[in-house]
Structures are given as C-alpha cells and as structure tokens.
Amino acid sequence: MEQFSSETNGYNRKEVNKFLSDIIKETDEIIEKYKQQEEQMKSLQEQIDHYQGVQSTIKDAVVEEESNHIIMEAKREASEIINDALERAEQVEAQRRLLEKNMEIFKKKLKLIMEQQHIIVDKIDELEIQDK
C-alpha cells in the first residue's frame, strides 16, 4: 500500500494525483491487454473452428473414397462371378449339345441293329417255312 506524505489539508495532492494517474494507466494497460487477449482468443477459436471444418471435410472425403473403393471392389467381384457363371453355362451347354448328338447317334445305331435283327428274324422265319 502506498504511503502519502501529509499536508495541512490532508495528503500531498501531487503524490495522490500521481498515484491515481499510475493506477489509471496500469488499469488501462490491463484492460488493453485483456482486449488483445480476448481478440487473440477469438481469432484462435475461429482458426480451431476452421480446422475442425477442414478435418470434417477430409474425413468425409476419406469415407467417400473408401466407400467408392468398396463399391468398385464389389462390382469387380460381381463381374468375376458373372463371367465364371457364363463360362460354366457355356460349358454345360456344350456338354448338352454333345450328349444330344451322341444320343442321336446311339438311336440311329440302335435302329440299325434292330433292323438288322428284324431282318435276321425274318430270314429265320423264311427258313423255317421252307423246311416245312
């Protein structure tokens, strides 16, 4: 605490006025420093908000890129599955055609054998009739 010298009408006016002037000056400096710090905090908060927005945008972009990659991978796998299925279907169709062709050949051969057997049976009947 400041000590003032005394005069006849109270404390020394120059000392009191200088003390008050110093207090006002210090108070003004404190207020100015507070305002500067408040502005600095506001600026820093705006930067934080900006960087959080950028971070959010980056996260969104990364998520979108990952989802696009997953979709592309799924499409590629689906395409492979479809191609494999088409190849198998073509193989089965080729086997079916081959079996049909073999069946036709078998039927013709069987008919031919049956006709030959029928001719033989007819000849046996003719021989039996001639023997009688």
- Give me the residues of the chain with pLDDT under 70, please: 1-2, 4, 132
Q: Copy the structure tokens of residue 19.
A: 């003390």
Q: Copy the structure tokens of residue 8.
A: 């006849």
The pLDDT assigned to 35 comes to 97
Within a domain: 115: yes
* Strand runs labelled E in the chain: 6-7, 10-11
Taking the C-alpha atoms of residue 95 and residue 90, their distance in angstroms, rounded to an integer, is: 9
Within a domain: 1: no
pLDDT digit string, tens, across residues 107-121: 999 999 999 999 999
Is 7 in a helix, a strand, or coil? Answer: strand
CA atoms within 13 A on the CB side of 51: 6
Global pTM?
0.49
Find the domain containing 110 and state its range.
6-131
Question: Please, which residues have CB within 8 angstroms of residue 5's CB and are 6 or more apart in sequence?
Answer: 11, 12, 15
The domain total for the chain is 1
Taking the C-alpha atoms of residue 62 and residue 85, their distance in angstroms, rounded to an integer, is: 34
The pLDDT assigned to 132 comes to 66
Within a domain: 49: yes
Within a domain: 60: yes
The pLDDT assigned to 91 comes to 97
Within a domain: 37: yes
Q: Copy the structure tokens of residue 40.
A: 């600095």
The pLDDT assigned to 103 comes to 97
